[in-house]
Amino acid sequence: MLKRVFYSLLVLIGLLLLTVLGLDQMDELENRALYLRRITGSPLPPGGSGIRHRKILSHRRH
């Protein structure tokens, strides 16, 4: 019984760690796109991060 609880905790900690690392990578990619946009003056690339960022900014204006 104790062994099963221990393994369950290890699995939950592993899933949490994978989630945190995955979100960190996604955030890093978004920040990289925004940084490149600032230094080059070019518009955001089409797709994911640019659209998501514009939606966030448009909600902040209201």
Secondary structure (DSSP) of 3-62: HHHHHHHHHHHHHHHHHHHHHHHHHHHHHHHHHHHHHH-PPPPSSHHHHHHHHHHHHHH-
At 54, which amino acid appears?
Answer: R
Range of the domain at 45: 2-61
What span, in angstroms and rounded, lies between the C-alpha atoms of 40 and 1?
59
Q: pLDDT 10s digit of each residue in the chain, 62 long?
A: 899 999 999 999 999 998 888 777 777 777 777 777 777 766 655 555 555 555 555 555 54
Any idea what the Cα angle at residue 23 is, between residues 19 and 24, rounded to 5°? 115
How many structural domains does the chain have?
1
pLDDT value of residue 55: 53
